[in-house]
Structure 1
Amino acid sequence: MPQPLMSFSYGSSSPALSNRQRFPTFFRTHPSATLHNPTRVQLFQKWKWTKIATIQQTTEVFTSTLDDLEARTKEAGIEISVRQSFLTDPAPAVKNLKRTNARIIVGLFYETEARKVFCEYSTTTSTPPTPPDSTTPVLTHTSTVSHTSYFHIHQYIHPHQYSTHTITPPSTSTQPTPSTPPSTPVKL
């Protein structure tokens, strides 16, 4: 009887690959993308955020990660008030988010799409929403930046100006981490 073929991956983060019924011989060194969701929920709780919005690139890895996040936030009593997605052009999704006056937005997309989302958000004609005070942060997460995740907190200062802080999860890797992204839009 032939032995099943073993598959190993160093960079596959799709939560679907954790299903042992579908992929009994698949193994990976990179964790599932849902690994970050408990940390996200803890951040929401720490900042006392009870209502968030989401924007995601429509790919399996981000869809299943968001499904997991939705279950965890519901369990923690946190509401996802708006859920937007896009395939290639984030402009309609960003415009819909801006119309809802969402304050806390979780973004799940690849790095190239992150640039498009942030540039679209900063160049649309409507004025950014005014938070209740100057310390209300907006959390976004860009996934799969050289197979490492970074949390970016964009803190509102005043209309049309934001500051950006990067939180890099602890790593045993010796790879250099990227510097804090600029607070001005990146030209595409």
Structure 2
Amino acid sequence: MRPDRRRPWLGTVEMRTYLSVDREFVPIEEAPVPKHWSGYEGGAVQLVINGRSIIRPESWDDIEPLWMLLAGLVTAIGKGASYATASFPDQPIPVGIALQADDLVVVVCGRGQHRRRAVADKRTFFEAFCRAGIDAFDQFERLGGGQHAALARQSLVECLDDLYQGEWPNLRTTPCIGVEKAAAAEREAKAFFGVQRLSW
């Protein structure tokens, strides 16, 4: 998505989904329909913010569960969380989104030397994120999957609808609604996101 004209320094947000076909990643829209879709096909998501790759294809996983998890981050924030975190389905790779002042969002993936962080305009980020997710879920259905992803897809559709009406997400002071069963302590979350405050 193109940057906000008022703040061009924030750059752009691009997000794509890939599916593993014959041990190579191909754009999911170009993937052939398999004989059987198990729901655990390997794939990857690429998220590029301001030219910096935050989620990379090297961090591949079961692609349909991964997108359901990513959609869960948006659902958590839509329900009132100021931030949400989770880990990849089959890899210890943390990913999180945190709302900040001035309609900004902080996105982080990974830990330690593999940690990648970027700041984006809220509307630009969520519009690109939700559109990419909706497209991915539509492709899962085309490929024979998506039976358990209807609610996740719907949460992204609602996000887009409210975003265009200027109603989502509002800045809140609600404590974190973690996607994982054990939500990170606020101190750990601040360190993870690299911010001083998590509620505005």
TM-score by length of 1: 0.28
TM-score by length of 2: 0.27
Larger Rg: 1
